[in-house]
């Protein structure tokens, strides 16, 4: 079966998304548009963060450029789209996070920080969200209330944001993931090689897990084909990839130790596959989720692959590279999108 999948998909040429001028630091997909769930033409967004200061929004299915959010004055490290696709959030080396209207491109909020913002996250299932989580080199996890007056300008005055777990992050927060199973739970991935699950009601950690290496990526992966919206939390750390239950804080489902350092990982439960990128070469590798065996090696990038993500229906995945390009790879043997 694995051989058949390989022969049908490995010959398919990936779609290459140009437009960025420097290395890609983060990519993520929006949820599937509700109107397109049962459609033969699914609709969803892809957003990319880049060191060229200019995050870009694209049609997730085709990679077609929709617009560029202009306003940051430093490298953008993290970019996400809200569940309903109405808002985008970005975190930058200019000591700010910004919130954007995806339909008009308007900059709605600038949230000032005292250091580089490495991670942003919206509530996983909330339409037109009113909250945003941020973190970075300040070593602080902040929750912002986007309805508060004065959020758009200047440093936080006090009531528009609050800190969770004060003093507990020993180093830079590299990723934040908002639970799809419980809106009161967040996960942070930190440079101190620790994952922490936080309860927003008590503002304290309810679970922790130490990993064996420096964390490269931490993302919630969920597909409508999996039969569950809770998803799987995938983490790349050193030479090991970890898979946690998206509904149970700290619950490790599996881990695989590979033969080289892993910079990024994305998983699709319905396909029983995960993909990785590495800082050591330019390849995208596809693995069997159950056995851990490498199924195929995909070539096309010309630099390390720093970020990867599966589409919300699990039928394609995207990778972002040091070479400044994003590639979309078909993950199904059937016709899909522009692959006819």
Which CATH number do you get for residue 227?
2.130.10.10
Is 339 within the bounds of a domain?
no
Q: Quote the DSSP letter at residue 339.
A: B
Picking from 158, 153, 152, the residue whose alpha carbon sits closest to that of residue 109 is 152
Is 193 within the bounds of a domain?
yes
List, for residues 180-223, the tens digit of each pLDDT value: 999 999 999 999 999 999 999 999 999 999 999 999 999 998 75
Q: With left for phi above 0 and alpha for psi between -120 and 50, is residue 71 left, alpha or beta?
A: left
Is 110 within the bounds of a domain?
yes
Q: CB 254: neighbour CB atoms within 10 A?
A: 14
> Residue 262: which domain range?
2-35+43-330
Do the Cβ atoms of 110 and 153 come closer than 8 Å? Answer: yes
Q: What is the pLDDT at residue 12?
A: 77
pTM: 0.92
Q: How many domains does the chain have?
A: 1
Angle at 130 between CA 127 and CA 136, to 5 degrees: 110
Which residues are 206's β-sheet partners?
none
Is 340 within the bounds of a domain?
no
CA–CA dist 185, 199 (Å, integer): 5
Q: How far apart are the first and last CA of the chain?
A: 22
Is 189 within the bounds of a domain?
yes
Is 317 within the bounds of a domain?
yes
Mention every residue, 6+ apart, whose C-beta is less than 8 A from residue 291: none
Is 118 within the bounds of a domain?
yes
Low pLDDT (below 50) residues in the chain: 1-7, 149-152, 155, 225, 227
Is 28 within the bounds of a domain?
yes
Angle at 161 between CA 189 and CA 199, to 5 degrees: 45
List, for residues 212-227, the tens digit of each pLDDT value: 999 999 999 875 545 4
């Amino acid at each position: 079966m694995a051989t058949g999948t390989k022969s049908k998909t490995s010959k398919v040429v990936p779609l290459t998304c140009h437009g960025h001028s420097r290395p890609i630091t983060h990519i993520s997909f929006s949820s599937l548009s509700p109107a397109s769930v049962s459609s033969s033409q699914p609709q969803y967004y892809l957003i990319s963060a880049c060191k060229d200061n200019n995050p870009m929004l694209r049609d997730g299915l085709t990679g077609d450029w929709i617009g560029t959010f202009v306003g940051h004055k430093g490298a953008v490290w993290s970019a996400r789209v809200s569940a309903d696709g109405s808002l985008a959030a970005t975190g930058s080396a200019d000591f700010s996070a910004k919130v954007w209207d995806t339909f008009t491109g308007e900059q709605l909020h600038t949230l000032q920080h005292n250091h580089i913002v490495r991670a942003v996250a919206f509530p996983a299932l909330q339409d037109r969200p009113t909250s945003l989580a941020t973190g970075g080199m300040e070593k602080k996890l902040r929750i912002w209330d986007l309805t508060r007056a004065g959020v758009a300008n200047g440093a936080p005055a006090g009531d528009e944001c609050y800190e969770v777990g004060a003093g507990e992050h020993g180093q830079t927060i590299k990723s934040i993931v908002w639970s799809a199973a419980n809106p009161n739970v967040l996960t942070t991935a930190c440079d101190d090689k620790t994952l922490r699950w936080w309860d927003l009601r008590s503002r304290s950690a309810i679970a922790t897990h130490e990993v064996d290496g420096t964390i490269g990526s931490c993302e919630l992966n969920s597909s409508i084909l999996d039969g569950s919206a809770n998803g799987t939390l995938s983490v790349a750390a050193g030479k090991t990839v970890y898979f946690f239950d998206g509904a149970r804080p700290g619950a490790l489902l599996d881990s695989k130790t590979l033969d080289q350092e892993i910079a990024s990982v994305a998983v699709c439960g319905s396909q029983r596959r995960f993909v990785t990128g590495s800082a050591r070469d330019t390849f995208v590798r596809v693995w069997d989720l159950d056995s851990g065996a490498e199924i195929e090696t995909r070539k096309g990038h010309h630099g390390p692959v720093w970020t990867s993500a599966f589409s919300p229906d699990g039928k394609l995945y995207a990778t972002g590279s040091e070479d400044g390009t994003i590639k979309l790879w078909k993950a199904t043997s059937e016709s899909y999108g522009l692959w006819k």
